[in-house]
């Protein structure tokens, strides 16, 4: 008899889980994916801007290629997706100065500040070599001296106020949190994103949503959108029973042998649990792991790439909004072609601005355009705002402190090891972290089957899987009309 596996959540984690289970175990499993929204994909979302006839990334802006951890890159290759490298030294705009090399940085922070920065980076890279960075979020990180300290405390080792401010500003957008809200180790890990020896970045040539679309197209199991899970009942007689409110079928139940929950902590907190001990265990899990913070992505469309000569790479970092990354998402490199800037605000700044109207936010971002760029208002066409907070937010402190053993963080109640929690908030708040969580869950379900099966990573080395005749493409590519929508 096949193992009945329910997957709650139709984002990257849920779709990858379903795909790997099918590929590894075939007819030994019966999988069903339940997604409360009308679309699949979660925080990976490529959107059509109808006003300008172009697409833009409303969610995840880039993927990370981590030295020593090729799993995501191998998955992308396995799915046959074309990639484009994301180049960035990066350039910085700080105090109305453009910093693009060490000389410019020293002009900003001074000789003493430059010495402090070199010392800080030398110490940080000694404490966090690339091979340990590739295993971020694993329990051995508890042994790192910066794991139990806040990032604010670690930054205090930079004994120069301007250099310390610059360092916090540099990674603010990636971190999506304030220095006192996260650990020193997680803060420094986000600084290392700019280090070529640790990480490089890329996007998908046809839009980042192509990753989840490719997975959805290859999943043969039912993908039920508009199927919101309300409650989970756990009893010795029936095992796990899921109550689902479907827009098409009404309220019903689904009995499963194993259940993979890929929700963020705020969404997980909305579920009801029939068993009081299980409810208490999930509550303890949330108290340890729920450190939700906000992102605000503001996309500006221009008649031309007027910034191309001053910022020729794929992104730059500005000190506006406490530190913001500005991505060049233009469809071509032609300076006279359509220009698309994507501003990624994070943390407190994102939370503050997200309470304003779309029009107010777009005006605020336009006003924050670097002074070295002239002609912005002349070429401006329209803007769009996408809020990522609450149930759609990211974690300021993945895994919490201290990091729990993998068994504990994925299975909060040992009486119900077939209830498995998955998500990027458990590892490092990226697609790579979500992938690591899925690999653990799929391996655990394979152990439940009690039969020899290939390791999940072996799937990524197989030839490209063809798309079936009835792909799930209808779930994707939202329509948008710009600011104020």
Query: Do 104 and 164 share a structural domain?
Result: yes
Residue 64 lies in a domain: no
Q: Which pTM was predicted?
A: 0.95
Residue 462's pLDDT is: 86
According to DSSP, the β-strands at 315-318 and 91-94 are parallel
Residue 47 lies in a domain: no
Helices (H), 228-330: 265-268, 276-289
Query: Do 317 and 257 share a structural domain?
Result: no
User: What parts of the chain have a pLDDT lower than 50?
Assistant: 481-485
Q: What is the CATH number of the domain that holds 380?
A: 3.90.660.10
Please state, in angstroms and rounded to a whole number, the distance separating the CA atoms of residues 23 and 219.
9
The domain total for the chain is 2
193 contacts: CB under 8 Å, gap ≥ 6 = 64, 171, 174, 199, 201
Of 361, 392, 423, the one marking the end of a domain is 392
Residue 248's pLDDT is: 86
Mean pLDDT of the residues in the chain: 94
- Output the six-digit token pair for 366: 């336009």
364-404 pLDDT tens trace: 999 999 999 988 999 999 999 999 999 999 999 999 999 99
Q: 66-90 in b/e burial notation, b at 16+ Cβ within 10 A?
A: beebebbbebbebbebeeeebebeb
Residue 475 lies in a domain: yes
The CA radius of gyration of the chain, in Å to the nearest whole number, is 23
Residue 467's pLDDT is: 82
Residue 464 lies in a domain: yes
Residue 479's pLDDT is: 57
Query: Do 263 and 404 share a structural domain?
Result: yes
Place of tokens 């020293």: 106
Query: Do 414 and 387 share a structural domain?
Result: no
Of 341, 375, 392, the one marking the end of a domain is 392
Of 392, 408, 431, the one marking the end of a domain is 392
Q: What is the CATH number of the domain that holds 437?
A: 3.50.50.60
Residue 402 lies in a domain: yes
Residue 57 lies in a domain: no
Please state, in angstroms and rounded to a whole number, the distance separating the CA atoms of residues 31 and 172.
39
- Residue-range definition of the domain harbouring residue 311: 86-202+293-392
């Amino acid at each position: 008899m096949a193992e009945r596996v329910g997957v709650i959540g139709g984002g990257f984690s849920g779709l990858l889980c379903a795909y790997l289970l099918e590929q590894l175990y075939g007819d030994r499993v019966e999988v069903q994916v339940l997604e409360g929204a009308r679309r699949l994909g979660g925080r990976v979302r490529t959107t059509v801007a109808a006003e300008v006839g172009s697409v833009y990334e409303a969610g995840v802006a880039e993927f990370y290629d981590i030295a020593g951890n090729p799993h995501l890159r191998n998955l992308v290759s396995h799915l046959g997706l074309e990639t484009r490298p994301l180049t960035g030294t990066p350039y910085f705009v700080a105090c109305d100065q453009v910093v693009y090399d060490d000389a410019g940085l020293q002009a900003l922070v001074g000789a003493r500040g430059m010495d402090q920065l070199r010392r800080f980076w030398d110490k940080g890279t000694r404490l966090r070599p690339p091979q340990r960075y590739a295993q971020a979020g694993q329990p051995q990180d508890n042994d790192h001296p910066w794991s139990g300290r806040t990032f604010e405390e670690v930054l205090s080792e930079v004994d120069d106020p301007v250099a310390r401010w610059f360092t916090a500003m540099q990674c603010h957008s990636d971190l999506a949190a304030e220095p006192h809200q996260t650990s020193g180790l997680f803060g420094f890990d986000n600084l290392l994103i700019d280090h070529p020896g640790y990480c490089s970045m890329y996007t998908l040539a046809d839009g980042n949503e192509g990753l989840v679309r490719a997975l959805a197209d290859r999943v043969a199991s039912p993908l039920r959108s508009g199927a919101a899970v309300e409650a989970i009942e756990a009893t010795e007689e029936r095992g796990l029973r899921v109550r689902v409110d479907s827009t098409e079928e009404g309220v019903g139940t689904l009995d499963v042998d194993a259940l993979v929950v890929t929700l963020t902590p705020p969404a997980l907190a909305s579920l009801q649990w029939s068993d009081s001990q299980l409810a208490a265990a999930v509550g303890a899990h949330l108290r340890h792991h729920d450190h939700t913070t906000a992102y605000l992505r503001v996309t500006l469309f221009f008649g031309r790439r007027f910034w191309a000569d001053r910022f020729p790479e794929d992104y730059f970092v500005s000190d506006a909004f406490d530190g913001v990354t500005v991505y060049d998402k233009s469809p071509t490199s032609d300076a006279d072609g359509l220009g698309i800037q994507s501003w990624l605000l994070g943390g407190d700044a994102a939370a503050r601005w997200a309470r304003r109207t779309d029009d107010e936010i777009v005006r605020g971002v336009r006003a924050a355009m670097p002074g070295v760029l002239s002609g912005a208002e002349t070429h401006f066409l329209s803007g769009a705002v996408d809020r990522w907070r609450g149930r759609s937010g990211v974690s300021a402190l993945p895994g919490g402190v201290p990091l729990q053993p993998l068994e504990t963080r994925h299975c909060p109640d040992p009486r119900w090891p077939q209830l498995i929690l998955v998500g990027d908030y458990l590892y490092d708040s990226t697609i790579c972290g979500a992938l690591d969580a899925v690999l653990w869950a799929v391996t655990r379900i394979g152990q439940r089957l009690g039969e020899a099966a290939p390791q999940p990573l072996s799937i990524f080395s197989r030839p490209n899987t063809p798309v079936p005749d009835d792909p799930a493409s209808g779930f994707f590519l939202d329509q948008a009309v710009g600011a104020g929508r």
